[in-house]
Chain A
Amino acid sequence: MTLNTNLKNILLVIFTTLFLSACSTAKKAGDIDGDVYTGKETVKFLAAGVPDRVFFATNKSSLTTASRATLRKQATFLRKNKNLNVTIEGHADERGTREYNLALGERRANAARDYLMTYGISGKRISVISYGKEKPVNPKSSPLAWSQNRRSVTVKVN
């Protein structure tokens, strides 16, 4: 009986370990929080420590806490480089109708622009363009790729 209970406990521990490790691998491979990409793949940098893009949830254009942190870094960078102008490119994933996605990309790019403006960057320095679903950064048809494609990217223009 005791042996049996011990065995049970051991098995439980083994299962728990397996379960937890499975979770952590899934999270590592996924890099998705809810539906928003949180990983580093595909991300480029405007300067050291200043990521060029933020990611969005499906059909959404609201900024996450992480996105706002990224944009504040961009704002600081732009304040330091007063002669620099940028274009914000808004993108959508491939799982939506083309025309709606053009509008959605425009809304996402403007969400990023508005946030930069609240941190003191003149709107005159920031143009926006929407590419809808026309320029995926990751061509795969998978939830991970789609989350990487739902993005707004800040690009230097001069």
Chain B
Amino acid sequence: MKKLIYILFINILILSKSHALIEIDITRGNLDPLPIAVSPLHVDIKSEEHNDIKIKNLGEDISKIIEQNFKNTGLFNPLKRDAFVQKPDIAHLKPRFEDWRLIKAQALVTGKLLIKDGKLKVEFRLWDLAAAKEMTALAFTTTPSNWRRVAHIISDKIYERLTGEEGYFDTRIIYVSETGPKNQRIKKLAIMDQDGFNTKYLTLGNELVLTPRFNPTNQMVTYMSYFRNMPRVYLLDIETGTQEVVGNFPGMTFAPRFSPDGKKIIMSFAKDGNSDIYTMDLETRVVERITEHSSIDTSPSFSPDGKFIAFNSDRSGLQQIYVMRSDGSNVKRVTFGKGIYGTPVWSPRGDLIAFTKMHKGRFYIGVMRTDGSGERLLTENYYQEAPSWSPNGRVLVFYRETKAGDRGEGFSAKLWSIDITGYNERKLSTKTDASDPSWSSLLSK
């Protein structure tokens, strides 16, 4: 597990700061995705054999992952490789730009790899075909088993160079895996790479688990478990597998989330029919009560600067979203639209709050400014909720359920993602049914 977590060595060879001709505007829905050619990485013949990994295919495999990542963004159109006009090794040295332009490519990715002394050495280049120049080049070394992460890191670097925004490919999603009939669901914590590979189960399914959330600064997770039939918030270190109950509350704690600095957990504590919001400092163990109101206060989420908290409350009668200072003062209702609102989640960029809206038996995932203005509904369905932000604040992942028949048949729960532009709605591939997704920050940051 450790080697997966460690940041790869990245040696920057050249980082061209010159102004490029190709740029992608990701603030609007992109109906004209950028045609990009991802040449298979050239595999150096001097490469040693490496157990289990087919070195010969590695160049091709890595380029396929990059292509898939790009395709999933909806911003790029990876071109078919049978149209490619140059061999990978030659193209990597210096592409014949006019030939690549002929197949309508605007950007080209080339690279090569080598395994030596048990280490995988990879380099890649991104070429601006219109300007006929190199935009970015990077080389790095890692353990061969990390080859999928290599593909994701390359994808991130290219995305960054072309969009001016941080990527989100070298990330993972933690979620609740669901199996079994609808009224006897078995739920386990599961984690996978953002592209659906490397699924691992973190609990056995002996007790009900809900709402896992990543610490934005490391690989710790907070979640809710019914271990020994006591519904409580837990803290889990996914590197070591150690876990502990958060705080010593004489009743149900739920709806946990980390503060942006990762040092506190904010959650609800229910007592005598009333749920209020509390924080616990993970180092000092000091518990603070943030709300004190006879209504239900839950689903708290900090602003990225830590100064504010968005939360869900029914103090006005039905579920609405409120924002307050992080000490609990200055509570303001921000949702006044038709219907009821839940699950506010503050964007990592700070400018938006994502939410679930329920209106006339339909469920919507939407975003709004932090004062509640500018509401935009991104997707409507029979049932969906629990948005979680990609670390760059451009994509939301959430879960969606289908209608069930008499004996629960036809029921499913799946993860979906959508850009905050409202475009590019897409089902994520998971090994089982899935709910309550939470997106990690970049692993190699």
Cα–Cα, bound, A98→B77 (Å): 37
- Pick from A94, A97, A106, A136: contact of B319, CB below 8 A: A97
B270 CB-CB contact with A under 8 Å: yes
B374 CB-CB contact with A under 8 Å: no
Stretch at the interface among A6-14, A20-28, A137-145: A137-145
- Pick from B231, B343, B408: contact of A139, CB below 8 A: B408
Contact of A129 with B296 in the complex, beta carbons under 8 Å: no
Shortest Cβ gap from B66 to chain A (Å): 35
Stretch at the interface among B30-38, B122-130, B399-407: B399-407
Interface residues in B202-231 by Cβ distance below 8 A to A read 208, 210-211, 229, 231
Which among A99, A107, A111, A136 has the highest number of chain B CB atoms within 10 Å?
A99
| Inter-chain contacts of A99 with B (CB < 8 A) | 211, 254-255, 268, 298-299, 312, 342-343
* Tally of A interface residues using CB under 8 Å: 29
- Pick from B268, B272, B358, B436: contact of A110, CB below 8 A: B272
B136 CB-CB contact with A under 8 Å: no
Interface residues in B51-76 by Cβ distance below 8 A to A read none
Cα–Cα, bound, A139→B124 (Å): 52
A31 CB-CB contact with B under 8 Å: no
Cα–Cα, bound, A104→B273 (Å): 8
12 A–B contacts from the bound complex (CB under 8 Å): A59-B314, A97-B385, A98-B211, A102-B210, A102-B254, A103-B270, A103-B275, A103-B298, A106-B252, A114-B273, A140-B404, A140-B407
Chain B interfacial positions (CB closer than 8 Å to A)? 181-183, 185, 208, 210-211, 229, 231, 252, 254-255, 268, 270, 272-275, 296, 298-299, 312, 314, 318-319, 342-343, 356, 358, 361, 383, 385-386, 401, 403-408, 411, 435-436
The 9 nearest A-B residue pairs measured at CB: A139-B408, A110-B273, A97-B342, A139-B182, A103-B275, A99-B255, A103-B296, A141-B403, A106-B270
Apart from A59-B319, A96-B319: 19 A-B pairs, beta carbons within 8 A: A61-B273, A94-B401, A97-B299, A97-B343, A98-B386, A99-B298, A99-B312, A102-B252, A102-B254, A102-B255, A104-B296, A129-B252, A130-B231, A136-B182, A136-B183, A138-B183, A139-B404, A140-B404, A140-B408
